[in-house]
Structure 1
Amino acid sequence: MTENSSNIKLDNATLSMFDDVKTSMTISIIYMMVTAINLVGNGLSMWILLFRMSPKTASIIFMINLTLTDLALGTALPFQIAYQLQGYHWTLGPGMCSFLSLVFYTNMYCSILTMMAIGIDRYLGIVWPMQFRGTRKRKCIAVFSCFVMWGLVLTVLHPLMTTDLTFDIPKLGITTCFDVLKKNMLPNQLAWATFLFSMVFVLFLFPFCITTFCYVSVIRKLASDCRTAKKQRAIRLAVVVLLVFTLCFAPNNILLLYHSVLRLFYKQSIYTAYKLSLSFSCLNSCLDPFIYYFASKDFRQKLRQILRLQSLVSADSMRMERKESMYSNQCTFEGQEREQGKLCLMPGTSQRKEME
């Protein structure tokens, strides 16, 4: 944060970041991989969730909302890649800078809140199944919750919509986008602290605690019941979701809090580490389609049908046909030896005929 572009007082850590080509290339490569996997995986997931899966349960509604935010990130990342490859030089103007920055951070925090909502839905369905059996009521709550989540995120991030986030640095010959924020973006230091800490505590830490509680409760509930293969898969899935949530979002938001405290009160910076963690947080948008695949049997079947692979039912049928064919061939072979006194026994037959 600094005063304005005509009175530049950037610290050495920030200036060195803009000159660090290796970090810029690393971030660009991560964004390229994320974009490719994101658009393909989430595009296919959205098609399945919207047009192939019915009825639309509360879980599917939350998955659609999560996929929508992931796709929004996938469409915004190419602009960020171009910005990085040009040495942190933004050429698309202040309006696009504000819009794409809003899309970027809205995706992150809507994803966090949606994963929290999915965790709550699973917690209620597994730990308290009798009290929350109303499918239609849960669907209405899910739709309403999605609107509340978007409203909350846009309210907290409102300053991004009303501020010029570009910043000219004549010394380096570049115009940055969101990497250097003007102090007049918000009226005073208290407003800055409220804005940054709201992003960390309201949009991350509180949902993180709720999500952790829900999935730990689900794991404990399933582990205490009789162990079946289906429940073991559900436990593993809960552990995976919790790990993905923690590894993708926790480092970025912890570093944001640490960087904000250093910047506001000690005039120091760890912005390079924060930028790297921000790129790794985008990996979550690539992993969501794989979580859907392992979480929903119906999703797996629809995906296999689209990709012209065998569904679980057809695979079982083919195995039965092969087994019957094997027995048929065996009987044909044995029929050829009837003259030697051997008779064919069909599978399942318990009686044995005496040798002729």
Structure 2
Amino acid sequence: MSTILSPLSSMATIPLTILGSPSSTPHNQTYCPTHDEALRVPQAVFYSLLFLVGLAANLLALWVFLFLRRRWDSMHILLVNSAVSDLLLLAILPFRVYYHANGDVWRLGAAACRLVTNVFYMNMYVNIAMLGLIGLDRYAWLSRRGGGGARCAPVRNPCGVPWTWVICGLVWGLALAMMVYGEANRPQDLEDRKCFQYNRWDSFGCIASINVALEVMFWVVFIMQVVSYGKIATSRYGRTARKSFFVLLLFTVCFVPYHVFRPIYIRSQFNPSAYDLCRIQQTHQVMVLVSAFNACLDPVMYFLLSGLMRKAAARALCTHSCRIRDALGALGTHSCGIRGGE
């Protein structure tokens, strides 16, 4: 399901690469300077904040998962893969900041534009896949736990670990394959000075069809999420249900607006006369920015789903507060012990 990637470029920040099959060649890039001027500074500021906050939070989460975890289970494997995809997406944001701060002028060449755009969307959809798998994992674990007698509960028992690695490997492999395929079918007559901008296409080619299929796949995953978390909410594990609900909330807030708008965006690329293209471009840029917030909100999900993450955060907070008090000349020694338990 995470093939939902690079091809999407064509609908997302318009990775000038991915709708570029011979049957769908770009036609006169449409550029709206008035709207772009209004969004240029806010985008540069928000992407900068997302990069700084998201980088610190995801690096902390990855450090906790890799170096403090003694036993691996399927949930933590999925969380690690989610954190890695977030960090790769965040690594692209400085390029977007550079582009918007530079007056929406791209000076790094068309190849660099294609690379950063494809990596951005690849990791966006890898993360969507991981969130979907996390939802299924939580539901499967609670179902087996409630039924009793299960030999291998997928979340707490290491029996599911090998299969979880295999599934994550397939997700990443499929994502990379789609990115390479999009690059191999890119159009050659792209403008070097623009990136993350709207493109028009002359015909509905095979890659455009894949993009539509991926849109359908997103909604299938979303429905699966709603069903899974709905069943969790009606279970007898109320505390787990409340924590799990945040994953569905995160998925809905960050990704649903983008995918609600995408069908309109795709249609406008093939029938531009029926749409206000400047408004389409402006709305699209806002939707992409909203989807990028996911990289900052995921660490909150890690905190809720991982007892190890909560203990590490509490320990770090206590240690920091002790150092501040010591620096201020506080009397006595402050104990920073953290109670165990997940």
The TM tier, using the shorter chain, reads 0.7 to 0.9
Deviations 1:25-63 (A, max 9, x none): 222222111101111000111100001112011000000
Corresponding residue number in structure 2 for 1:39: 55
TM value normalised by structure 2: 0.77
Deviations 1:332-354 (A, max 9, x none): xxxxxxxxxxxxxxxxxxxxxxx
Q: 1:144 to 1:311 in 2, by over 3 A?
A: farther
- Secondary structure at the aligned position of 1:253 is classed as helix
Deviations 1:243-297 (A, max 9, x none): 1110100111221221102322454331210111101101111011111112222
- Secondary structure at the aligned position of 1:15 is classed as coil
Of the candidates 191, 195, 211, which is equivalent to residue 177 of structure 1? 195
- Secondary structure at the aligned position of 1:133 is classed as coil
Of the candidates 194, 197, 203, which is equivalent to residue 209 of structure 2? 194
Q: Could you tell me whether the CA contact under 8 Å between 2:110 and 2:190 is conserved in 1? A: no
Q: Could you tell me whether the CA contact under 8 Å between 1:18 and 1:88 is conserved in 2? A: no
Alignment of 1:241 onto 2:247: yes
Corresponding residue number in structure 2 for 1:73: 89
User: What are the residue-to-residue correspondences of 1:98-177 with 2, within 5 Å?
Assistant: 98-129=114-145, 130=148, 131=150, 132-133=152-153, 135-162=157-184, 163=186, 167-168=190-191, 175-177=193-195
Of the candidates 273, 282, 286, which is equivalent to residue 292 of structure 2? 282
- Secondary structure at the aligned position of 1:101 is classed as helix
Distance 2:226 2:337 in 1: 34
Structure 2 counterpart of 1:254, one-letter code: V
Alignment of 1:96 onto 2:96: no
Structure 2 counterpart of 1:234, one-letter code: T
Corresponding residue number in structure 1 for 2:306: 296
TM value normalised by structure 1: 0.74
Distance 2:198 2:190 in 1: 6
Q: 1:246 to 1:280 in 2, by over 3 A?
A: same
Comparing 205-214 with 99-108, greater Cα deviation is found at 205-214
Q: Could you tell me whether the CA contact under 8 Å between 1:97 and 1:165 is conserved in 2? A: no
- Identity across matched positions, percent: 23
Deviation at 1:190, TM superposition (A): 3.5
Corresponding residue number in structure 2 for 1:87: 103
Distance 1:96 1:107 in 2: 17
Gaps of 5+ in 1: 169-173, 226-230, 315-356
Alignment of 1:313 onto 2:339: yes
Q: Could you tell me whether the CA contact under 8 Å between 1:166 and 1:180 is conserved in 2? A: no
- Secondary structure at the aligned position of 1:242 is classed as helix
Alignment of 1:205 onto 2:219: yes
Distance 1:271 1:279 in 2: 13
Distance 1:165 1:307 in 2: 52
User: What are the residue-to-residue correspondences of 1:235-274 with 2, within 5 Å?
Assistant: 235-265=241-271, 267=273, 268=275, 269=277, 270-274=280-284
Distance 1:257 1:152 in 2: 23
Comparing 74-83 with 146-155, greater Cα deviation is found at 146-155
Deviation at 1:66, TM superposition (A): 0.2
Q: 1:179 to 1:165 in 2, by over 3 A?
A: farther
Distance 1:313 1:19 in 2: 53
Deviations 1:178-210 (A, max 9, x none): 4244749xxx523143132133122x2222122
Comparing 292-301 with 109-118, greater Cα deviation is found at 292-301
Deviation at 1:232, TM superposition (A): 3.6
- Secondary structure at the aligned position of 2:40 is classed as helix
Corresponding residue number in structure 2 for 1:346: none
Q: Could you tell me whether the CA contact under 8 Å between 2:200 and 2:270 is conserved in 1? A: no
Distance 1:212 1:8 in 2: 39
Deviations 1:154-201 (A, max 9, x none): 344445423268843xxxxx71124244749xxx52314313213312
Aligned residues: 292
Corresponding residue number in structure 2 for 1:9: 28
Corresponding residue number in structure 2 for 1:28: 44
Corresponding residue number in structure 1 for 2:23: none
Distance 2:75 2:98 in 1: 36
Q: 1:35 to 1:91 in 2, by over 3 A?
A: same
Q: 1:97 to 1:266 in 2, by over 3 A?
A: closer
- Secondary structure at the aligned position of 2:92 is classed as helix
- Secondary structure at the aligned position of 2:112 is classed as helix
